[in-house]
A = this chain, B = another copy of it.
């Protein structure tokens, strides 16, 4: 780390959101034995503009070689490190309904640095079941489980009505990163990061554009 290290402790949010994309493309290339890649090729693989890709990478440091491109392995390492994937993150999933179950079994979680360390639910019917090799624990044990397993990221897959309460409780025991699948706006202190995934919102956005294409509500057909 002696040579170039302009790692600006301020990487733009938009860049952070794309790094995982680059990482995935790079993993694919590494598996296919590609040693070196140009910004142009990597940009195509990740579905972005090459200038944007270069600017994104330049925020991490100067890891390319002019006239050649980027060393795939090295770049994988640098991005992984920047994203914090060189360490192991323990994730708890709260709410083991259909979605929670799907998440527990989702391979993509485990794949890169994340480990589902606990499943928690309120329904006595499912508490005690084994899902994806894990015992489902009771919601009363929430705080204890989080501490015991060193959980630092919580995935909320509860019904909407329960989300805020669970959220408050995990924050109270020190969790500061939450991935929320419940269709509610969580209120949290601003030291806590919440990311939200909302299936129904995504569909609504698609419907909006689809409607536009088909011709709007009180619109005559209008090819544009």
Residues of A in contact with B, size category: 35 or more
Report the Cα distance A26→B110, complex, angstroms.
38
Q: Are A176 and B213 in contact (CB under 8 A)?
A: yes
- Does A74 touch B at the CB level, under 8 Å? no
Q: Are B47 and A208 in contact (CB under 8 A)?
A: no
From the candidates B45, B82, B203, name the one contacting A217 in the complex (CB within 8 A): B82
Can you show 22 pairs from A to B with CB atoms below 8 A apart? A16-B209, A19-B204, A19-B208, A20-B205, A21-B201, A24-B183, A25-B185, A83-B204, A84-B211, A85-B207, A86-B217, A91-B203, A98-B101, A98-B105, A98-B106, A102-B102, A103-B199, A106-B199, A112-B200, A113-B207, A114-B207, A195-B205
Q: Which of A47, A83, A207 has the most CB of B within 10 A?
A: A207
Q: Which residues of B contact A185 (CB under 8 A)?
A: 21, 25, 45-47
A103 to chain B, nearest CB (A): 7
- Chain A positions within 8 Å of B, measured between CB atoms, are 1, 9, 16-17, 19-21, 23-25, 45-47, 81-87, 89, 91, 97-99, 101-103, 105-106, 108-109, 111-114, 152-153, 176-179, 183, 185, 187, 191, 193, 195, 197-211, 213, 216-218
